[in-house]
Amino acid sequence: MVRWSRRPGVSAAALTCGALLVAACANQAPSPRAGVSQAPSLGAGATNEQLADRYLAIAEAGNRNLERDLGRLEKRDSTRLTAARADLADAAVTERLFDHRLSLIEFGPPTEPIATLLYRLNQARASVTATAARSATLRQLRRRLQRLDRENAAVEQAVSIVRSQLGLPPPDTS
């Protein structure tokens, strides 16, 4: 499995720009599939429409869960540390489940390198989400949520590119 670098000081925006440049110039990017147990997946001969349908199925399921968890965090749980931590822990699980499901889709060029980038960026976001879920105070949680907002922007940029390459409209949320 491709591992995400956790070196401090590497911003999501810089990584996104660099990875997009590399992905655009490369014929093949390393796949996050190595070492992942295989479930039924769409083979390399799948049509763009089949790939789009599969991607939408996992994206919509993930978005429903994230909207529920983060919606509670923004509203009723915004001043309740224990509940906010539970919301974030569940969101991190959802993000990692999306990544696993994404890794089972065999995208062809030019989508594969961007899907790999999306996987990596979302893994980083899931780590930040999980860290926020371990916040000891509401103040600390709010600081960590600011970093999560930055991670979200990078993920959303990659999502928009994947969707565009699959012939899908831009997302309402991601």
Q: Give the tens place of pLDDT for each residue, 21-51.
A: 434 433 334 444 444 444 444 555 678 899 9
Structural domain contains residue 116 = yes
Long-range pairs for 3-12 at CB < 8 Å and ≥24 separation? 4/120, 4/123, 4/124, 4/127, 6/127, 11/150, 12/121, 12/124, 12/150, 12/151, 12/153, 12/154
Q: How confident is the model at residue 171 (pLDDT cuts 50, 70, 90)?
A: confident
The domain total for the chain is 1
CA angle 77, 83, 89 (to 5 degrees): 115
Q: What is the pLDDT of residue 44?
A: 57
pLDDT value at position 20? 47
In a domain, residue 68? The reply is yes
Range of the domain at 142: 46-165
Structural domain includes residue 7: no
Q: How many angstroms separate the CA atoms of 81 and 131, rounded?
A: 14
Total-model pTM = 0.74
What is the per-residue pLDDT for 172? 77
